[in-house]
Amino acid sequence: KTKVSGGGDGTEDPTNLCKNPTTTVPQSYKWRMVIAYDGTHFSGWQYQQSTPRTIQCLVEMALTKTTKLEREELTLVGASRTDTGVHAWGQVAHFITPFNYDRLDSIHAALNGLLPSDIRVRELSPALPEFHARFSSTGKIYHYKIYNDIIMDPFQRRWAYHSPYRLNAAAMREGARYFVGQHDFTSFVNASNSDRPRNPVKHIIRFDVIELGALIQLEVEGTGFLYRQVRNMAALLLQIGKEAVPPDIVPMVLASRDRKELAKYTVSAPPHGLSLMSVKYNEELLEPPSGCRTASFGRHHTISKCKLPFY
């Protein structure tokens, strides 16, 4: 790791970084990461001692090697506990170190060098002490992709659900509008081994159905989501698109507040069509601590001169 040293060598004293000079030296430093991953070969985000192939496990392994800290010291937390096979472009996580860094691009490059190619840290930045990847979140955006053609595009097979039935996108759009607003989503949640009960009342800000050629992209933004809620909503919209049920089935299922009612019409949509696109926070929480280094978005490699002879 590259730690800040002080005095005489041109680097800054760590007591002058990330704090007001009139306050005491902070005991720890918090760092925010934006992570993208192809979830195909992983058992979701959440750490599982019995299943090391989770995103959190692999990110923690990379962090322990670069920081020389134990996972208990790092206390890595993710914003969303994405399920097995679910992808992400904008997963957010934070971790803690007892020391500061003078070069974030160095540790950033080291992390991506240790991680498998289907997990990338897109951004690494200093975070305010009060920032929490999970509990500070004010909303999330998910996409569910459906490839709607007779023959599946092999380049889309890992990231889009294949529906050979001709879907009525207009009917799906009408059904999606019923989800917008504040509702009790008990009918759309699967049972989980959650560490705490979740409030079933959630606010959906928008639910768009966008046609991109053969691809139908469901874009849903909300203040929060229950376990498998997005996949269950997508599954009912697929049935509406097939014209197996009318769009106004949505308010009826919502009003029932019974997961068994949804099960009469559909099962959860497969996980590989779902991607966590971004996690939202209040802007003031994303400001860097005073005096801190700027965020690292990676760095380009450069060649000072051509290594090959000209002929």
What secondary structure letter does DSSP report for 241?
Answer: H
In three-state secondary structure terms, 213 is coil
Q: Is 83 a catalytic residue?
A: yes
Q: Which of 174, 189, 309 is nearest to 251 (CA)?
A: 174
In three-state secondary structure terms, 134 is coil
Residue 142 annotated as binding site? yes
Q: Which of 309, 83, 57 is nearest to 192 (CA)?
A: 83
What secondary structure letter does DSSP report for 206?
Answer: E
CA-based max dimension of the chain: 77
Which residue among the candidates 83, 149, 153, 195 is catalytic per the annotation? 83
C-alpha 104: how far from chain center: 21
H-type alpha helices, the chain:
55-67, 71-74, 104-114, 169-177, 229-241, 249-256, 259-263
Q: Distance between CA 78 and CA 28 in Å, rounded?
A: 19
Binding residues are 142
Binding residues for substrate are 142
The set of catalytic residues is 83
